[in-house]
A and B are shown apart, each in its own frame.
Chain A
C-alpha cells in the first residue's frame, strides 16, 4: 500500500477525492465541515510525498508510474498518464503538499465567516490536485493539462468574492494574461514534439536533443525558439515582465489563496518548468541570457515598485515578483563555457530559493492575512501601526518571515539568495564577450535589489508593527490575535523560515539531493562542482543590513524623514508609486486597440453577417408564409392536394 510507487499516484488523487467529496456532498451534508476533506487530502498527500521523497533518496533510478496508461492516441502522437519522481519532483512535492496542508489548516480558521465555505475548499483541493499533477507529470501534455488546471483554480480563487467587481476583473485579468503565456508554452511543446523525436516524454526529448547535439546536427535556431516559447509560458505563469501585471491584482483573492497560489506554489510553476528543461536551456545560451535578463529586470522593477506601496499585500505581491525574478536570474545564469559548467549550480540555487521562498513568503502572506483579519479587511499600512502589542503572535511570526526575506544572515533567505548571487557572479566571470558585461550588470542589479528587498521588507514591518499604536475604525475596540487554528500554521512556518536555511544551506543537503537524484541523471554534461564564495556572503549581508538600517532610520528613528525624502525625489517616487504606469501603458497599447477591433468586429457581425444570415433565414419564412394557407385544418383539402399532385405527376409522365 505505501510503496513509493503507489504513493506516486495517491499524491494527486487524495486532494482530487477531497475536492469531489466537497463538490458533491459538501454543500448539503456538512456545509460547516468542508475543510475536513480538504485538509485530510492535503495531509494525506503530504505523507505520501514524504514517502516518495524517502523512496527517491533510497532508489537509484527515478520512480515511475503509469507509463503504459494511454491517454491520447492519434496517429504518431501519443500521450500517457505517466508520472515520475526524481530529486526535483520530490523536493517540489514535499514543499507543495506541506505548505498546502498548513495553508488549508489556516484557511479553516480564516474563512470561517464566509458563506461560500465549501466552494473555497473545493477549489483549494482541486488546486492541490493540479499542482501535484503538474510536478509529477512525466510528459509535456500532462504538464500542460495540469498547467491549465492550476490556472483555472487560480481564476476561481482570485474571483472567489465574485460579487466584488475588482475581484472579478482581477480574476479575468489573471486568466487572460496567463493564457497569453500558455499559448507560448503550447507552441513550444509543439516545436519540441515535431522536431525532437515525435515524443512528449521528457526523457525522450532530452536524450534526442543531446544526441543531436553530440552528433553536431542540432538546429540551434529551432532549439532557441523552442526554449523562448517555453519561457514565455513560464513567464506568464510566474508573472515575469512583461506579463507581470496580473499578480498584484490577484491579491483581491483571500489571503490564504495569495499565500498558497500566488506566492508559494503556482507562480513557481514557471521556475519549475524552466528548471525541468535545463537540459534544453543549457544548450541554448541565448535563451538563457534572455531568461536571466528578464529575471533580473523583473526583480529590480518589482522591488522599486514595492518600495512605495502602502498596501501590505501589494508589497508582498511585488516582493514575490522580485523573488521570482531572482529565481529566473539564477536559472538564466547556468551558462556552460568550456570547462565551466554552471547549469547544476544555477538550478540548485533557483530551486533552493524557490523552496525557502515558499516558506517565508507563505508565512508573510498568512501573517498579513492575520493582520487583515484583525483589522477587518483593512490592509492599508497608513491606516494602522504599532500593532506589536495588539497582535503578538502575528508580530513575531511576521518578523521571522520578513527577516528571512530581507536576507538577514543565517536565516533561510540569506542562504538561497547568496547562492543566486554566487551563480550570477560565476556566470559573469566565466562567460566572455558581451554576455560577460550583461551578467556583470545583472550581478550588480541583483545586489542592489537585495538591498531594496531588505529595505521594503523592513519598511512594511516597521510601518505595521512599530511606531504609535493606531487602529482603523473598522477594527473595533479590541482586535483579536490569530486563533489557535491560524496560529499553529504560522508558527510552524516561522520555524521553517528561520531554520530551513541553516539546516540545508551550509550542510549542502539540498544540493546533494538534487545533484545525486536529478542532475547527474539528466544533465551531468552541463554541471560541474563549485565552491562557496565567502566574500560574496559578507557583501550581501552588509547590503541587507544597510537596507534594513535605512528603513529603521526612515520609519522608526525619524518618522518625518520618509516624507521629506519622498518629496525630494518626487518624480521617481510617483513613478514607483504608480507602478511605472504599466497598467496604463497596457490599457493604451493593448486593451484599447483590442476594444476598437472588437467593436469593428461587432459592427460587422451584427449588421453585415447577421443581416446576411437573417436574409437567408427570411427566405423559408416568406415561403412558409406563402404556403401557409394550405394548412387550413380541413382533412378533405389535404386529400385534394394529394390527388391534384398525383394527377399532375401522372400527366407529366404521360405528356413527356
Chain B
C-alpha cells in the first residue's frame, strides 16, 4: 500500500479507472458480496450477499461475453464458469465444512466442463477421477473423523474478512485489467484471429458475416476497423511497402466482394503478422525442433482430435524426466503420509 502511494499519480489513477471501469465494477461488487457472505459472529442474512454476488456474476459474464460471437460454445462457457464461480463462493462462505467440501467437488466438476470446452478431454476425465473421486472423498473422511459433532466455533468465524477480501479483489482486478488490455481488439492476437477467419471464408456470405456487408454501408462508414488497426500496427514501414499494399488490397477486394483475392491478401498479411506474436512466457518455441520425429506442436487453436495419444506422446518425449520425478514424488508422499499419520497417539488407540 505504501508503494501504491509512492508510485501512483492522480492522472495515472484516473486514466486507469476510466479505461477499466467495466472490469473494476464486477470486482468491487464481488468484494462486497464476499465480505458480506463471510461467516462471522453477527452477519447479515445470506440473501444480501447472495444477491450482490449474483449481480457481480452476471455483470462479469456480460463484460466477458460482449465481444464474443453468440454461439453454443459461449453459452456453455458462461454456464460452466458461472457454476464454477458460484460453487467457489459457496465453498469459502459455507460454515459447514462438509458443505464446503461438496461445493469444492462442484467447482472441480465445472472446471472439468471448461477443460472439455478447451479440447482437453483426458484432463477432464483425470481431474474428475482424482479430484472429485479421490481427494475430495479423502477430505470428507478427515472431516467426518475430526468433527463428528458438526460445525465448530472456529467455522463460525473468519479471520480478517475485510482485508482478505480486499486483497483478493485487488489481485483479481489487476489480473483482469491486464488480461483485458492484452487481448483487446487491435492486439496482434486478435488481428491474427480475424485474418485467419477472413482467409478461411468460402463465399460472399461468409465475407459479409465476418467483415460486414459493403453494399449496405454508407461510403463514409466503409473504413474497415481491421484495416485501420493493421495500418496502425505497420505504421513504421515505408509507404510503398508490399505489406501496406496487401492491407489496402483487403479493403479493395472486400468492397468488391472478391472472395479469392481477399483470401489471398488476408493470408499474405497474416504471414507478415505471424512473427509479431508475443512469445514471452511460452514454454519453448512453438516451431518443432528439426530432429523431432513425432510432431507434438500444432496450429494455434487447433489441437488434435486424438487428445490422449497426443498428450502421451508429449509426456513421454519432452517431459520424460519430469514424469519420472512426479512418480518418485508420489511414492515419497505415500510413504510420508503413512509415517506421519501412522503415528498413533494414546487417546486414539
Contact = CB atoms under 8 A, between A and B. Distances in A.
B123 interface: no
A647 B167 contact: yes
A58 interface: no
B16 A644 contact: no
Contacts of B4: 648, 651-652, 655
Interface in A597-656: 634, 636-637, 640, 643-644, 646-656
A636 B167 CA distance: 13
28 contacts: A634-B159, A636-B159, A640-B159, A640-B163, A640-B167, A644-B1, A644-B163, A644-B167, A647-B166, A647-B174, A648-B1, A648-B3, A648-B170, A650-B174, A651-B8, A652-B3, A652-B4, A652-B7, A652-B8, A653-B7, A654-B16, A654-B174, A654-B178, A655-B4, A655-B7, A655-B12, A655-B16, A656-B9
A651 B174 contact: yes
B11 to A, nearest CB: 10
B240 interface: no
A646 B177 CA distance: 16
Contacts of A653: 7
Contacts of A649: 3
A643 B167 contact: yes
Contacts of B170: 647-648, 650-651
A567 B223 CA distance: 135
Main SS of chain B's interface residues?
A: helix
A638 to B, nearest CB: 11
Contacts of B159: 634, 636-637, 640
Interface string B163-181: 1101110110010011000
B164 A640 contact: yes
Most B-side CB within 10 Å, residue of A646, A651, A652:
A651
Interface of B: 1-4, 6-9, 12-13, 16, 159-160, 163-164, 166-168, 170-171, 174, 177-178
Nearest to A634: B159
A363 to B, nearest CB: 83
A639 to B, nearest CB: 9
Nearest to B169: A647
B92 to A, nearest CB: 13
Nearest to B163: A640
B1 A655 contact: no
Contacts of A643: 164, 167-168, 171
B171 A646 contact: yes
A184 B3 CA distance: 62
A643 B162 CA distance: 13
B174 to A, nearest CB: 4
B34 to A, nearest CB: 14
Nearest to A644: B167
Most B-side CB within 10 Å, residue of A636, A640, A652, A654:
A654
B302 to A, nearest CB: 34
A654 B15 CA distance: 11
A650 B8 contact: no
Given A644-B163, A648-B2, A655 B171 contact: no
Given A634-B159, A655-B13, 12 more contacts: A636-B160, A640-B159, A646-B167, A647-B171, A648-B3, A651-B174, A652-B3, A652-B7, A655-B12, A655-B16, A656-B7, A656-B12
A637 B174 contact: no
Most B-side CB within 10 Å, residue of A644, A646, A652, A655:
A655
Contacts of A640: 159-160, 163-164, 167
B164 A656 contact: no
Nearest to B20: A654
Nearest to A643: B167
Nearest to A636: B159
A644 B3 CA distance: 11
A636 B13 CA distance: 31
B85 to A, nearest CB: 19
Nearest to A642: B167
A643 B166 CA distance: 10
A269 to B, nearest CB: 69
A440 to B, nearest CB: 89
Nearest to B15: A655
A640 B274 CA distance: 42
A651 B5 CA distance: 10
Contacts of B168: 643
A656 to B, nearest CB: 5
Nearest to A650: B174
Nearest to B181: A654
B6 A650 contact: no
A646 B4 CA distance: 11
A651 B164 CA distance: 16
B155 to A, nearest CB: 14
Contacts of A648: 1-4, 170
A304 B16 CA distance: 101
A648 B6 CA distance: 11
B304 to A, nearest CB: 37
B99 to A, nearest CB: 21
Contacts of B167: 640, 643-644, 646-647
Contacts of A651: 4, 8, 170, 174
A646 B174 CA distance: 11
A641 to B, nearest CB: 9
Given A646-B171, A655-B16, A637 B160 contact: yes
Interface string A523-536: 00000000000000
Contacts of A646: 167, 171
A646 B173 CA distance: 13
Contacts of A654: 16, 174, 177-178
A654 B4 CA distance: 9
A644 B2 CA distance: 11
A640 B170 CA distance: 13
A325 to B, nearest CB: 78
A607 to B, nearest CB: 37
Contacts of A655: 4, 7-8, 12-13, 16
A630 to B, nearest CB: 13
B268 to A, nearest CB: 37
A652 B163 contact: no
Nearest to B158: A636
A648 B170 CA distance: 8
Nearest to B175: A650
Interface string A322-359: 00000000000000000000000000000000000000
A652 B1 CA distance: 8
A80 to B, nearest CB: 60
B140 to A, nearest CB: 23
Nearest to B167: A643
Contacts of B8: 651-652, 655-656
Nearest first, the 8 closest Cβ-Cβ pairs linking A and B are: A647-B170, A643-B167, A652-B7, A650-B174, A655-B8, A652-B3, A648-B1, A652-B4
A634 B160 CA distance: 12
A647 to B, nearest CB: 4
Interface in A213-243: none
A228 to B, nearest CB: 66
